[in-house]
Amino acid sequence: MSESNGDRAPEELDSELLTAYLDGELSESETIAVERRLASDSGFRSQMQDMQNAWDMLDALPAVKPDVAFVRTTVEMAIAGRQRSGISAWGPRIIGALAMLGLPLTLFAVAFFATRESIEQPERELLGELPVIENYDRYSRVFSDNDPEQGIHFLNSIYERGLFSEVEELFPVDSEDETEEAVVDLVATTVPPSADMIQDRSDRLTSMTDQQREDLFAKKQKFEALPQETQTAIRDFHNLLSNDPDRDRLWESLVSYYDWLKTLRASQRTGLLDSPIEKRLGKIREITRLQAEQAFGRLGATKLPVEDAEAFYGWYDFAITCYNPEIRKRAGKVFSDIRSKKGLPILEDDVSRVMSGPIGQLVDFLMRQDRENFGQLIAAKANETQYGMRELENQLTRSSLLILDGLEVDEKRELVLRWIEVANKTRFPIQTTKLKAFYETLPVVTRDKLDNMHPDDWYESLTRLYWEAENIVKSAEPAEEEEFRRFLRENGLDSDFEIDDFDEAPY
């Protein structure tokens, strides 16, 4: 307290005094003075308590655990760096000696060649192994024990089990932009790159920003700091991948998996990478399911409490399966009614083709064209069965029941329908291509804002914008039934319906 207090506000001085008191930074006499004032001044005491409570809350910050390999890779990198610097240490010594001899011209020449070497030599090395360097961090996430075959088996399993289908939409789309180019460049390192390929890679390097080039060189250094056997295993994996007849689908699995890893917490990631393949695949299934449920709980204007997402999802999933025949029958009827209202002939073949369409599209169709009855089918009529609304209520927690209890029957049904809409978005998610196309239509400012977000927030915000835009379009143009028209198109029925027909239809 010996510093000059100048003309600072008394609150500011009090705050500093209390901070120093709470941090134990006051002298004994200063501490006594503060404590006396605390005893007599309730405002001062309350200020101190609020400050301390806020400070105590910091204990709730989540603990962060580094990757299990952190210590090993750090120590290895440090030692590898020492070995490299041991070799290059001659450079400055020679330059020093030359400078001492007063040979400026020689110094210039050494500097010139040294600079040229430092830029060109690594670039030359980089061109030869560009795909390996660019992708080694992806590669190193799919296999362990330096067993590249294991990685290929893992990617095949991901593809065959369709592991990311439920949460594909949670990924950032960044990597997909690279995919096409990278697949083209999947050439085994055992094959000498052609002149064209070298030229392409060189062009790629040239078109990079300084920062991107710097990042790439840092990546190269990190790769070179790995133990020799790890480097060899990564190269072998690249070669296996490049030579695999299914390399495109394996590549897709690799990109999906790597992008998905970014959506995990560090602890989840660490646990996964350490697990043997079968266990890892099981864990992926488990986590993706949970993510889908959480995303489901987050979406939508009326939030279903997250803790009930699983119960609701399960109930709805079952209802869809249980009422599959009714849904198909109803879709056929609604389809016939539409045609009838248009004065179009009702062909049995067309109706049965509609009825045998994908269940997701039929649900979507009914939710748009026959929402009320669909609700009756799933929720209200279901009172008659053991899987109906009552059963749902039995499964929900108090938080959801509190929401439902305050509603009239109609309102309750409407709310469940809205939850169903949300469930549809998760069960039948937005296609990545649609989301990507939507992203492209956004103003630069909005895209900039989105791109500065964490991938989780990025996805959440983008989907929110997407649904908002969708709802605006729908309310402005109720007949814009893009989904349904696509469905008709895919089933060869689009010629029966003109866009104008939809616009006029009173649905």
Partner 1 sequence: MTDSDPLEQKKSHYEQTDPDVRLMIRVRKGDNAAFQELVEKYQARLVGILTHMVSNRDLAEDLAQDVFLRVYRARERYVPTAKFSTWLFTITHNVASNALRKASRRREINLVSTSSSSMPVRPLEVMAKEKSGLMPTRQLLKSEMENVMLAAIEQLGERQRIATMLSKFEGMSYLEIGEAMGLSTQAVKSLLSRARSNLKEILRPYLESGGLVESVATELKTDQVSEEDK
CA distances from 459 to 173, 260, 285, 393, 439 (A): 9, 12, 20, 31, 11
Report residue 176 as tokens.
């997909």
Q: Using the minimum distance from each CB to partner 1, give the nearer residue, 451 or 498.
A: 451
How many whole angstroms separate alpha carbon 438 and alpha carbon 129? 36
Q: CB–CB of 135/155 below 8 Å? A: no
Q: Which is nearer to partner 1, 77 or 107 (CB)?
A: 77
Of 386, 357, 368, 384, nearest in space to 424 by CA: 368
Q: 59 vs 196, which CB is nearer to partner 1?
A: 59
CB nearer to partner 1: give 85 or 441: 85
Residues sharing a CB contact under 8 Å with residue 340, sequence separation 6 or more, in sequence order: 346
| Shortest distance (Å) from residue 91 CB to partner 1 | 16
Residues sharing a CB contact under 8 Å with residue 315, sequence separation 6 or more, in sequence order: 387, 391, 392, 395
Token code pair at residue 231: 């480097």
Q: Which is closer to partner 1, CB of 36 or CB of 398?
A: 398
CB 353, CB 399: distance < 8 Å = no
Q: How far is the CB of 94 from partner 1 (least distance, A)?
A: 20
Between 454 and 489, CB nearer to partner 1: 454
Q: Which is closer to partner 1, CB of 64 or CB of 476?
A: 64
Q: In 3D, which of 414, 369, 368, 365 has the Cα closest to residue 389? A: 414
Q: How far apart are CA 236 and CA 139, in angstroms?
A: 10
Nearest-angstrom CA–CA distance, 507 and 369: 6
CA distance 449 to 446: 5
Minimum CB–partner distance for residue 317 and partner 1 (Å): 25
For partner 1, the closer of residues 52 and 190 by Cβ is 52
What is the closest distance, in whole angstroms, from the C-beta atom of residue 253 to partner 1 in the complex? 21
* Distance, CA of 381 to CA of 359 (rounded, Å): 20
Q: Which residues bind partner 1 (CB under 8 A)?
A: 3, 12, 15-16, 18-20, 22-23, 25, 49-51, 53-67, 70-71, 73-75, 77-79, 81-82, 85, 211, 262, 265-266, 448-449, 451-454, 457, 460-461
The Cα–Cα gap between 227 and 24 comes to 48
Least distance between partner 1 and beta carbon 246 (Å): 30
The least distance separating partner 1 from the CB of residue 130, rounded to whole angstroms, comes to 21
Q: How far is the CB of 405 from partner 1 (least distance, A)?
A: 15
Q: Which is nearer to partner 1, 80 or 479 (CB)?
A: 80
Minimum distance from CB of 52 to partner 1 (Å)? 9
Q: CB of residue 62 vs partner 1: minimum separation in angstroms?
A: 4
Select 142 or 366, whichever has its Cβ closest to partner 1: 142
What residues contact residue 392 under an 8 Å CB cut-off, 6+ apart? 311, 312, 315, 379, 416
Shortest Cβ distance from residue 3 to partner 1 (Å)?
A: 5
Could you please report the per-residue DSSP string of 318-366?
A: HHHHHTHHHHHHHHHHHHHHHHHHHT----HHHHHHHHTS-HHHHHHHH
Which residue, 65 or 161, is less far from partner 1 as judged by CB?
Answer: 65
- CB atoms closer than 10 angstroms to residue 491: 14
Q: Which is nearer to partner 1, 53 or 206 (CB)?
A: 53
- Other beta carbons within 10 angstroms of residue 27's beta carbon come to 11
Q: Residue 252 in contact with residue 179, Cβ under 8 Å?
A: yes
Q: How far apart are CA 94 and CA 112, in angstroms?
A: 14
Instruction: Please report how close the Cβ of residue 264 comes to partner 1 at its closest, in angstroms.
Output: 10
Compute the distance between CA of residue 242 and CA of residue 129 in angstroms, rounded to an integer: 13
CB 442 → partner 1: shortest distance, Å? 15
Using the structure block, give the residue that is written with the tokens 């393949």: 277
Q: How far apart are CA 421 and CA 467, in angstroms?
A: 11
